Each structure stands twice: as C-alpha cells, then as structure tokens.
C-alpha cells in the first residue's frame, strides 16, 4: 500500500477512536447511558446454506458465504476495516 494511503487510513482510524471516546465521556458527564451502535454489516440467509453479508447503510451485498460462521467472520472483518 502506498505510504500516503496507509497514513490516511491510520489517521482516520485514530479519529474514529477519538470520536467514540469523546462521545462516551459526554454521555458519562450528563449521566445517560451510551447508545448502542448498530453493526454496519449484517448476515442474512438467502437460500439453503447460503448467506449474504449486507451493508446496512446501502443494503447492498458486500460478500457471500455458504457457511454461517464464515459469513459472520467476513462481517466482523469488514466491520474492523471500516
């Protein structure tokens, strides 16, 4: 990966972490529970032993697997990349 792209990815990851921490601190200060975030990628059965990994923002399939556990692993991996 090109160094400038890698640097941009690292900066975005750090900003995401920082924004989550700031949000949690804000809710702690006002005494309210932190809202639960919905997962971005959802595993949906579409046939006999066939599963799509859907992006909840666009409702488009980002991948598919024949095994449910593999589909869940793909969804987790995509979630970490975003």
pLDDT in tens, 36-57: 888 999 999 998 989 999 999 9
The DSSP 8-state label assigned to residue 57 in this structure reads: T
pLDDT at 19 over 90: no
Q: What is the residue range of 81's domain? A: 38-82
| Residue 73 exposed, middle or buried by CB count within 10 Å (0-12, 13-18, 19+) | middle
Tokens of 36: 């639960």
For residues 80 and 69, membership in a common domain is answered with yes
Q: How far apart are CA 10 and CA 24, in angstroms?
A: 21
Is 90 exceeded by the pLDDT of residue 71? yes
* pLDDT attached to residue 67: 94
Q: How many structural domains is the chain composed of?
A: 2
């Amino acid at each position: 990966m090109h160094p400038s792209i890698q640097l941009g990815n690292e900066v975005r990851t750090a900003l995401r972490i920082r924004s989550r921490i700031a949000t949690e601190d804000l809710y702690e200060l006002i005494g309210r529970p932190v809202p639960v975030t919905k997962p971005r990628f959802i595993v949906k059965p579409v046939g006999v032993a066939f599963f799509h990994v859907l992006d909840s923002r666009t409702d488009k399939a980002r991948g598919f697997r024949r095994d449910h556990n593999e589909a869940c692993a793909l969804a987790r991996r995509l979630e970490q990349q975003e």
